[in-house]
Amino acid sequence: MRLSQIKLNILANFAGKGWNAIMLVALVPQYIQILGIEAYGLIGFFTTLQAVFALLDLGLSTTLNRETARLSARAGSEQETHDLVRTLEIIYWFVAIVIVFVVALLVPLIAGYWVNAQHLSTDTIRQSIFMIGVAIALEFPFALYSGGLIGLQRQVQLNGIVITIATLRGLGALLVLWFISPTIQAFFIWNAIVSLAQTLLSALFLWRGMPKAAAPARFRRALLATIWRFAAGLTGIIFLSVLLTQMDKIILSKFLTLEAFGYYTLATVVASSLYMIINPIFTALFPRLSQMIGRDAKEDLISLYHNSCQLMSVILLPVAIMVALFSKDILLVWTHDPQIAERSYVLVSLLIIGTAFNGLMTIPYALQLAYGWTKLAFYQNLAAVLLLGPLMFWATRHYGAVGASVVWSMLNAGYVLIGIQVMHKRLLRGEKLRWYIQDVGLPLLATLAVASVGRWFFPVQASIVTIIVWLLPISALAIAASVVVAPFTSNQIKAFFS
């Protein structure tokens, strides 16, 4: 795959994730205004359940991504590709049916004993939880189809679907709340409808995008034997990752009121918006890294690895640092609600720092998966669960949402300090210091210096207009500083002007 194709895929992924972010940023305050912060807490619970049931993916969507990328580079593999997709497709739809039944059985337990609502009725919560299960089930197979599209380099088409569905999901839900029913049940019913449309569209594009095979696709159990080791390793990683990333929300949803959990959900949404930056780069680079390793192009691999890590840093770090230092001001501009800003800004600052650390590990993690090496991530997450799991429980019990946010940041800082050293010792020996200094250190220090100076001179009392006027130039300078000090991006700029 040409470098221009990588750039096109990255741009397409940014377009898809960026539009998702726009829908999220623009509409969340509207949802809170119509439904109330307590009902918005149920949306946060929906997100948590979605992540938990993603465990049933068993690493198969990423496995299909890797296998379709690998098979596409091999002649005569059309039938195997078709049969592999059909085999995994049947498994996914069976699991989707199981999800509906499991959630239906759990509805009385969740509504009666887990969720702490003060204003919403038990019937409202019961109905909402059931519709959450239906929405999750209908969206579940989308992970498989999107993995196949990514592996086949159909990322432009995939993001066309993502943009269309994000628009329907966001604006459509708002119209439903305005003109049909301003209830949380109506919100989840619309989400279920849109999730089905997303899954069916992605399935159609995947099957049409695959090269034609000689015979109709069929279920082949033998194909599972060829991928089970990689999928099993991914399953362990995903299970522990979900446990680590959702542990705070699971515990807090029990110990906090639904209103307080709503504020934590809002902070999580802001911090998670960084994945709109992180995921497009990972999605575009992972298949390319897999192909380079298959061709044993070591020098090209090292160059692409460092360039990608620097690109991640210069895009990710300015956003994360600006939000961390100006979280209260940004929340005020976003929500126009001083109470929401006051009760959420500390959580936002802590969570986005942890998410930024997590994002810096994305390209190294992609390299590990491209090599088929899943043990490091598995044992790393296992150690984190054993060491930080009890700490998370203790922190959330004694310090609530703030305690959970601190532990999240500590966890991801540990990955950067320890995981990077172990990975480079095995896969890219001698490249560790270059990662710490050039790829991450220089953009981090440059951005932090500019943003800190801006924070020092920022007016204490400022209107929304004043906040915007100050934030725009500070953000621009922070991004410029990060770009200039990173060797890859600075060379790209020099090449462009020359």
- List pLDDT tens digits, range 59-86: 677 777 777 766 666 666 778 888 888 8
Q: Which pTM was predicted?
A: 0.66
Helix axes 142-151, 184-209, angle to 10 degrees: 40
Question: Which residue stretches of 362-486 are H helix?
Answer: 362-370, 375-414, 420-426, 432-434, 442-457, 464-485
- The residue with greater pLDDT, 135 or 247, is 135
pLDDT in tens, 120-171: 888 888 999 999 999 999 998 998 888 888 877 788 888 889 899 999 998 9
Which one, of 398, 416, 411, lies nearest residue 361 by Cα?
Answer: 416
Contact between 194 and 139 under an 8 Å Cβ cutoff? The reply is no
d(CA 45, CA 261): 9
Give which of 130, 131, 284, 141 is closest to 201, Cα–Cα.
141
Query: Cβ distance 363 to 305 under 8 Å?
Result: yes
Contacts 24+ apart (CB under 8 A), 486-490: 486/310, 486/313, 486/314, 486/438, 486/439, 486/442, 486/443, 487/310, 487/438, 488/306, 488/307, 488/310, 488/311, 489/310, 489/311, 489/314
Q: Beta-carbon neighbour count of residue 454 at 10 Å?
A: 19
Structure confidence at residue 227 (pLDDT): 66
Mean of the pLDDT values across residues 315-328? 93
Is the Cβ–Cβ distance between 208 and 202 less than 8 Å?
A: no
Distances (CA, A) of 420 to 45, 60, 417, 440: 33, 26, 6, 12
d(CA 449, CA 275): 24
Residues 6+ apart with CB under 8 A from 419: 361, 364, 376, 377, 380
230 in Cβ contact with 372 (< 8 Å) = yes
Q: Pick 34 or 57 by higher pLDDT.
A: 34
Question: Out of 22-26, 247-251, 295-299, which region has the weakest mean confidence (pLDDT)?
Answer: 247-251
For residues 283 and 6, what is the distance between their CA atoms, to the nearest angstrom?
A: 10
462 Rama sector, left if φ>0, alpha if ψ -120 to 50, beta otherwise: beta
pLDDT at 72: 65
pLDDT band of 238, cuts 50, 70, 90: low
User: What residues contact 153, with CB distance under 8 A and at least 6 apart?
Assistant: 1, 5, 9, 69, 72, 287
Task: State how far the Cα of 110 lies from the Cα of 258, in Å rounded to an integer.
Answer: 13
The H-or-E segment that residue 354 falls in is helix 338-360
Q: Given a cut of 50, is residue 1 above it in pLDDT?
A: no
Q: Which two tokens stand for residue 423?
A: 């990975």
Q: What is the pLDDT of residues 353-373, one digit of tens each?
A: 999 998 998 888 888 888 878
Q: Is the pLDDT of residue 176 over 90?
A: yes
